[in-house]
Amino acid sequence: MDVDHVESDLVSVLFTEAQIQARLAELAREIEQDYEGKDLVIVGILRGAVMVMADLARALDRHVEMDWMAVSSYGSGTKSSGVVRILKDLDADISGRHVVIVDEIIDTGLTLSWLTSNLGSRNPASVEICTLLRKPEALTMPVEVKYVGWDIPNHFVVGYGLDFRERYRNLRDIATLAPHVYS
C-alpha cells in the first residue's frame, strides 16, 4: 500500500521504502561480518517483524536459518500491559548456535529484555538483537541492541509491519500516525 492511499491518517513519512531497503542492506553487511563462518539463526518476532525479517534475510549474502516467535505484551491497546506471553515458540533448537532476534521496533524494551533472557536460558552461543527502529525516550527496561536501523522520537508509527489494530502493516513506508486515528 502506498502513502497516498492513507495520507489523511498520517502526519509525516519518516522513512521511505528505498531508505528502509538501503538501511537493511547495511545491517546485513554488519551481520555477515560479525557472524562469518558461524552457525546463525535469525529469529523474527511475529507479526510486526515479518517485513524486516524477510528483507533482511534477502539482503544477507550467506545461508541463514530463519525461525519465528510470537510474543505479546500489548493485548488490544496501544500501551504495553507489562506481562509478556509466548504465543508461538521456536521450532529449532538454538543450543550452541548464534541467535539474532529481529524485530521492527523497540518501545519500552520490556518484551525484548524478557525475550533475550528467555532465549539466553536455552544455551545458545550468543543472543543479539537487530531492530529497524528504537524509541530511546520510551525505554523503561534496559536492553542491549547490537544492530539498530534508526532511533526515532516517541511517536506512534505505522507501516512496514508496524500496525494500529492490524491496519497499516502493508504500508511500504514508515510514517507517523495522526492522533485523530488512535485517540
- Give the residue numbers marked as catalytic: 107
- Cβ pair 33, 62 in contact under 8 A: no
State the distance between the two ends of the chain, measured CA to CA, in whole angstroms.
23
Do 166 and 180 meet the contact criterion of CB atoms below 8 Å apart?
no
**52: which 3 cell numbers?**
524486516
Instruction: List CB contacts of 18: < 8 A, sequence separation 6 or more.
Output: none
Q: How far is CA 110 from the centre of its chain?
A: 13
What is d(CA 117, CA 136) in angstroms, rounded to the nearest whole number? 20
DSSP string, 40-53: EEEEEEETTTHHHH
